Amino acid sequence: MNYTELVAAIKSYTENEYPTVDVNLFIEQAEQRIFNSVQIPDLRKNVTGTMLAGNKYLNVPTDWLATFSLAAIDTTTNEYTYLLNKDVNFIRESYPDTDNTYWKKPEYYAVFDDTTFILGATPDIAYGAELHYYYYPQSIVIAGTSWLGDNFDSVLLYGSLLEAATYLKDSAETIMNYSNRYKEAMELITNLGEGKNRRDAYRSGQARIPVKGSGGPV
């Protein structure tokens, strides 16, 4: 289902000729709800960069949604250390900035703010960084097509209809109907996210809050 077909279906189901700006809002809100609810193996990326000596912060990509894995790489031996996710306070207390005797190859990371990870420990030398992450794909509103539209159009349609019904303050029966259909469709896509599909891949299993960053790891 492409964007034009999705808009036509929304208007047909609701029997309402919404302005384009409203329909687009329903669709984008549905996409956000879906992507924040499940991690989809097909929507993963891998980026590389550098953890700088003396700098405990690492930029996250602008389309970052959730971390699958983050590794610090010794560029001499090519040894990978996969970092464990911790709380910001744990890293700050365990690896204080004031004492460089704590600096070494990072073992932990945390989401510091909407643009960066914080590392523990602070790197003592430059290390390679490899981030494998789930990403926010471009909206079908902008691209005209999308992974959801091509593979799970029912969850996108009923998610959009649920947003529209809520916006219109439809009857409780209508909202419940769309909600139930949406939940049924979400079960299918959740099975994919939980590995109950053709693939067998390691998952971190921990969802993250979507953020807007300033680029990939540096």
77 by Cβ neighbours in 10 Å (0-12 / 13-18 / 19+) ranks as exposed
> Which amino acid is located at 186 in the chain?
M
100 and 32 together in one domain? no
According to the model, what pLDDT value does residue 41 have?
85
pLDDT for position 163: 95
Give me the pLDDT at residue 198, please. Answer: 39
Task: State the pTM of this model.
Answer: 0.73
Co-location of 11 and 51 in the same domain:
no
Residue 10 lies in a domain: yes
Confidence class for position 113, pLDDT limits 50, 70, 90: confident
| Pairwise pLDDT comparison (204 vs 194), residue with the higher score | 194
- What's the pLDDT score for residue 25? 96
Higher pLDDT, 205 or 159: 159
116 plus 149 within the same structural domain: no
Is residue 206 included in any domain, yes or no? no
Left (φ > 0), alpha (ψ -120 to 50) or beta: where does 158 sit?
A: alpha
Q: Are residues 68 and 112 in the same domain?
A: yes
Decide if 202 is inside a domain: no
* Secondary structure class of 128 (helix, strand, coil): strand
User: Could you report the per-residue pLDDT of 26-61, keeping only the tens digit for each?
Assistant: 999 999 999 988 888 889 999 999 999 999 999 999
In a domain, 59, yes or no: yes
Q: Do residues 54 and 117 both lie within one domain?
A: yes
Domain-embedded: residue 211? no
Q: Are 156 and 8 in contact (CB under 8 A)?
A: no
Domain final position from 87, 106, 135? 135
- 57 shares its domain with 130: yes
pLDDT digits (tens, 9 = 90+) for 60-109: 999 998 899 999 999 999 999 999 999 999 999 888 876 788 899 999 99
Reported as a single tens digit per residue, the pLDDT across 140-171 is 999 999 999 999 899 999 999 999 999 888 99
Q: 208 falls in which pLDDT band (50, 70, 90)? A: very low
| One domain, residues 155 and 123 | no
Same domain as 93, residue 57: yes
Signed CA dihedral, 143, 146, 150, 153: sign only: negative
More confident of the two residues 200 and 50: 50
Number of domains in the chain: 2
Shared domain check, 161 and 112: no
Same domain, 56 and 116: yes
What are residue 203's phi and psi, to 5 degrees?
-125, 145
Asked which of 15-19, 131-135, 199-203 is least confident by mean pLDDT, the reply is 199-203
- pLDDT at position 195 is 55
In our burial notation (b when 16+ CB lie closer than 10 A, e otherwise), range 39-68 reads: bbbebbeebebbbbeeebebbbbebbbbbb
Any domain includes 205: no
In a domain, 18, yes or no: yes
- Tell me whether residue 146 is in a domain: yes
pLDDT recorded at residue 213: 33
Structural domain span for residue 107:
44-135
Evaluate whether 106 touches 120 at the Cβ level (below 8 Å). yes
Side chain identity at 108, as an amino acid letter? Answer: Y
| 89 plus 60 within the same structural domain | yes
User: 152 and 121, same structural domain?
Assistant: no
The candidate with the shortest Cα–Cα distance to 178, out of 30, 16, 3, 36, is 30
